[in-house]
Structures are given as structure tokens and as C-alpha cells.
Structure 1
Amino acid sequence: MQITTQDELAEHEIVETLGLVRGNAVRTRHLGKDILAVLRALIGGEVPEYTKMLAESREQAIDRMCAQARSLGADGIVAMRLTTAPVMQGAAEILAYGTAVRLRARRSPASGSAP
């Protein structure tokens, strides 16, 4: 699956637009991670427990978006975006969305031809 945040892929042309696809993941905080985060906040720096949790959530949302695109027969997604939104106290949604498309490789110019 080719995925880009651009409106097109340089090496491919879009031959069919199949529509909006999306995938999401909702995560809640974990008490153990919260305790570690509070302790880290005292000394400053990154909170790797949350960094890992958010990275896993993003990947899950993207995987779900790709699965929906494949079910439509797509081999690419253009204009892909990620967004987050609070769901409730201590929980957030990660949403991946884009436009599912069918692609064809662009033909390269004939070699040896003069401009």
C-alpha cells in the first residue's frame, strides 16, 4: 500500500478515486504509566511510556485505514492525515484518514530521445 500526505505520488498516476477511508484507535491512560509520568515530570524530559503508547495507537489507526482501503480494492492512499481528539477524561482517539485510490506506474520517457 502506497501512502502519502501529498495529493499525488510522483511515480504513479491516480487512475481511480475510491473515496474516504479511515481508521481509529481509542486509548486510555494506565495507572502504572501515570505514576511513572508524574515521577518523570518532577525531573523533566520525555515520558517514554506515553510516547510508546501513542506510537502504537497511530500505527493501529493507520493499519485499520489501510485495511479499509484494501477492502475497496485500493493500492494507495493520498492526502493522509492524523488527528487526535479527547473522548473522555484520560482517553483520546487517534484518527487516520485519507483518500483511497487505484494507482498505475507512470511511464518513463523513452530513453535516448532528444528534448
Structure 2
Amino acid sequence: MNLSSIQGVVLTNVEQVPGKTIVEHYGLVTGNTVRAKHVGRDIAASFKNLVGGELKGYTELLGDAREQATTRMVEQAQALGANAVVNVRFSTSAVAQGAAELYVYGTAVRAE
């Protein structure tokens, strides 16, 4: 189980908020961002591919994308009156050459 909180909204990847009862169900909430690769990161990644190792530029890019998409989902949940999002899942997909979408979704609820 993974349990965290952003802007006072509890996020979890399970169906319940541990120790709480879900008293209101608001439905699906989502957040996404589309990011393009950076030329400088591509050059660095090309060199790293020769010797192996972590592509730190891309790791940072995806981390930033996850944070932005999650923040957008949380803001949508708050607008509905939720204080938690359960069943949080992430997905990625290519939308164009050199660009990818990071999508996060879950179920907004009020837990007490």
C-alpha cells in the first residue's frame, strides 16, 4: 500500500483509506501533462546509451511530469469536495514523435 498526501488530500493506490470510512463518492478525477524531450537531454542520453547508466535528465523530466499531473488531479478532487483519492494509477503514452503524455487517475472520495 502506498499512502501520501498532497495539499491535504490523501492519495492511496488501494480501495480504502486505512483507518477511515468513505462517506461520499465523487467519481473519477484525472490529471495529465504532455512533455516533449529536450535536445540537450537527448544528446546526453545518446552518450549515456554508449556507456550505460541512469538517464538522469529523463528521470527528472518524468518526475516533474508525475508531480504536475498529480497536482492537477488533486485540484480537481478538491473542487468536488473530496479529501482523498483512492485507487490512484499512472499511465504513459506517446502522443507524437518526441512527446509523451503522463496521465494519473483515481476515485475522489470523502473519508472520515
3-state SS of the aligned residue for 2:21? strand
Q: Which residue of 2 aligns with 1:9?
A: 17
User: How many corresponding residue pairs?
Assistant: 104
Q: Which residue of 1 aligns with 2:77?
A: 69
Q: Does 1:41 align with 2:49?
A: yes
Q: Does 1:52 align with 2:56?
A: no
Structure 1 residue 9 displacement after superposition:
1.3
Describe how 1:20-35 pairs up with structure 2 within 5 A.
Answer: 20-35=28-43
Structure 1 residue 82 displacement after superposition:
0.3
Distance 1:35 1:84 in 2: 23
Distance 1:51 1:61 in 2: 15
1:32-91 deviation per Cα after TM superposition (whole angstroms, max 9, x unaligned)? 110000011111010000000000000100000000000000000000100001100110
Question: Could you state the TM-score of these two structures normalised by the residue count of structure 2?
Answer: 0.91
Alignment RMSD, CA only? 0.5
Q: Which runs of 4+ in 1 moved over 3 A?
A: none
| Structure 1 runs not aligned, ≥5 long | 105-115
